[in-house]
């Protein structure tokens, strides 16, 4: 159990690690955002997706001996709404929503491991609680189910970080 706690803690700490800075120029004024400011929400979603997989594996007994009922574990909902509330507060430019939408819009064969984990965070889009930060990401996932990545880019056009860069960010973490 102690090793599982360390794994979960490490996965949740991943977004705090920085990446390349981004310089935005508006007119004659330049703004520099650190990599952490640009990528924290996207990396948080990816870390949360990996954490979910680790929790499921831990509950299935992947880290200990003995057997568990696979159906009972997979059918037990994990509530990440509090984490998504915090992610939503830092996702001011909607880059994490773009990442979620784009991951859902792509075909299964073209997803990298991190994007696959992200799509598994949204395996049930039937119930959306409009009073949680999770709802914003569920709606982004739902928009992606139409399988048109260009719609995701148009919908979340406030994100100035290209989707390929977001994919690199989550892959680095």
pLDDT by residue, tens only, the chain of 173 residues:
444 443 443 444 444 444 444 444 444 444 444 555 556 777 788 777 777 776 666 655 544 455 555 555 455 567 788 889 989 999 999 999 999 999 999 999 999 999 999 999 998 899 888 988 899 999 999 999 999 999 999 999 999 999 999 999 888 75
What values do phi and psi take at 31, rounded to 5? -120, 130
* Distance, CA of 54 to CA of 136 (rounded, Å): 24
**Per the confidence metrics, is the pTM higher than 0.85?**
no
Q: What is the pLDDT of residue 44?
A: 80
Phi-psi region of 27 (alpha: psi -120 to 50; beta: other; left: phi over 0): left
CB atoms closer than 10 angstroms to residue 85? 14
**What pLDDT was estimated at residue 41?**
75
Alpha-carbon distance of 142 to 150, in angstroms, equals 14
pLDDT for 100: 96
Q: Which residues contact 50 (CB under 8 A, 6 or more apart)?
A: 11, 114, 117
d(CA 7, CA 90): 23
From 14, 163, 32, select the one nearest 96 (Cα to Cα): 163
Q: Give the gyration radius of the chain's Cα atoms.
A: 17
How far the first Cα of the chain sits from its last, in Å, is 23
Whole-number pLDDT of residue 80: 81
What pLDDT does residue 68 have? 52
* Rounded distance between C-alpha atoms, residue 22 and residue 80, angstroms: 29
């Amino acid at each position: 159990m102690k090793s599982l706690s360390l794994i979960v803690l490490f996965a949740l700490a991943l977004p705090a690690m920085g990446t390349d800075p981004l310089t935005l120029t508006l007119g004659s004024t330049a703004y520099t955002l650190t990599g952490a400011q640009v990528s924290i929400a996207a990396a948080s979603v990816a870390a949360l997706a990996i954490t979910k997989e680790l929790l499921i594996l831990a509950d299935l007994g992947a880290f200990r001996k003995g057997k568990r009922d696979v159906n009972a574990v997979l059918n037990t909902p994990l509530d990440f709404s509090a984490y998504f509330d915090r992610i939503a507060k830092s996702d001011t430019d909607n880059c994490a929503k773009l990442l979620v939408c784009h991951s859902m819009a792509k075909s299964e064969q073209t997803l990298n491991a991190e994007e696959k984990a992200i799509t598994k965070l949204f395996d049930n889009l039937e119930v959306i609680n409009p009073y949680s930060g999770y709802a914003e990401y569920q709606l982004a996932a739902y928009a992606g189910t139409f399988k048109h990545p260009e719609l995701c880019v148009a919908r979340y056009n406030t994100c100035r970080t290209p989707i390929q860069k977001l994919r690199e960010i989550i892959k680095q973490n």
